[in-house]
Amino acid sequence: MTTRHAPDPSARAVLLQATADGIATAAAELRTGRLVAFATETVYGLGALAEDDAAVAALYAAKGRPSFNPLILHVADLAAATRIARFSPTALRLAEAFWPGPLTLVAQAREGCGAALARAGLDTVALRVPDHPTARALLAAVGSPVAAPSANPSGKISPTTAEHVLGGLGDRIAAVLDAGPTPIGVESTIVFAPVDGPARLLRPGGVSLERLEAALGASLASDAPATDGPIAPGQLRSHYAPDARMRLAAARPEPREAWLGFGADPAGLGSRPRRNLSPTADLAEAAARLFADLHALDAETPSGGVIAVAQIPETGLGRAINDRLRRAAAPRD
């Protein structure tokens, strides 16, 4: 088990099943300030009690995350969210349309709402009501907000299975609440909805831009795909990075490249490492497989190798997939 203040290199996370017992154990660990990864419908999150600054500090340390990067507070329902932040009519409309679900709303934090370290000292706060039954049961059992970034070391590929979490953070956290592969596979869509001023899309994700705009009956300005200066603190350009380099929108792989396909594969792929996100070109299937396929190809590609990736359409969930691929392909520090 991990200690409160420093990761213990000899520790190994306990794998908990998503049963009533497993959920109760996970909730008890969180309440005593330990770090527990858990399944959501998007990706696995690494949870810490949001109001426990020591737990949140341990979370930043475990991820190796720059501490200016604020976390999403996961809450059980809209009522809990509106106790923490002020919701504009637009924010309420989006919450009612998409919660529980893969949407994060950034809104003005209420005076005295706590969780200062999780919010990285900002006067705004990111909130999400997840839709996964395991996450919902866990939040109900904990009874207070759980700060949870994706459960990967900072800058690495996001986890969609408990095995991914153990591979990246297994020696730095108390437990993983395992509910199998996550169904959506890319992180939540993030919308900034201030009380004064228009809403803006900060990160494409599990709720497509088209669905957001249909719910709003209006178009939504977009700060994503992120340009060089981070808009949301922590929208680092190089992110989700595999060790291999990435070549995007490729028609076919070069002789020594691995291949990540979408739709029908080109002929003559031979015995190279390869995966196909969706042979039928289904974007929801591709999103669900994206990170698992990147993890697998990265492991199979020799060091210094390249993963060539097929073109993915920039519509619906394709926007979130392309955003993650562009970050995976971005130059590294």
- Provide the binding-site residues for Mg ion, judged by CB under 5 A: 150
The structure tokens listed for 81 are 């969210």
The smaller minimum CB distance to ligand TXA, of residues 73 and 277, is found at 73
Q: Give min distance, CB of 126 to ligand TXA, in A.
A: 3
Q: Which of residues 171-200 bind ligand TXA (CB under 6 A)?
A: 187-188, 190
* 36: partner contacted, choices Mg ion, ligand TXA, none (Cβ within 5-8 A by kind): none
Indicate whether 128 belongs to the interface with ligand TXA (CB under 6 A). yes
Cβ-Cβ contacts under 8 Å for 59 (sequence gap 6 or more): 35, 46, 48, 65, 71, 147, 149
Q: Which of residues 270-289 bind ligand TXA (CB under 6 A)?
A: none
Indicate whether 35 belongs to the interface with ligand TXA (CB under 6 A). no
- Which listed range, 6-14, 83-91, 233-241, 289-297, lies at the site for ligand TXA (CB under 6 A)? 233-241
Closest of 149, 102, 90, 147 to residue 129, by C-alpha = 102
The smaller minimum CB distance to ligand TXA, of residues 59 and 310, is found at 59
d(CA 262, CA 279): 6
* Three-state secondary-structure class, residue 28: helix
The structure tokens listed for 272 are 């190279």
Are the beta carbons of 125 and 109 closer than 8 angstroms? yes
* Three-state secondary-structure class, residue 261: strand
Task: Provide the residue count of the chain.
Answer: 333
Indicate whether 105 belongs to the interface with ligand TXA (CB under 6 A). no
Indicate whether 70 belongs to the interface with ligand TXA (CB under 6 A). yes
The smaller minimum CB distance to ligand TXA, of residues 118 and 329, is found at 118
The structure tokens listed for 211 are 């669905």
Indicate whether 104 belongs to the interface with ligand TXA (CB under 6 A). yes
- Which listed range, 12-20, 78-86, 228-236, 304-312, lies at the site for ligand TXA (CB under 6 A)? 228-236
Closest of 98, 97, 72 to residue 85, by C-alpha = 72
60, 76, 146, 174, 176 from 55: Cα distances, Å: 9, 20, 11, 12, 16
Indicate whether 124 belongs to the interface with ligand TXA (CB under 6 A). yes
Q: What is the residue type of 234? A: G
Residues that bind ligand TXA (CB under 6 A): 40, 42-43, 45, 69-72, 102, 104, 106, 122, 124-126, 128, 148-150, 187-188, 190, 202, 232-235
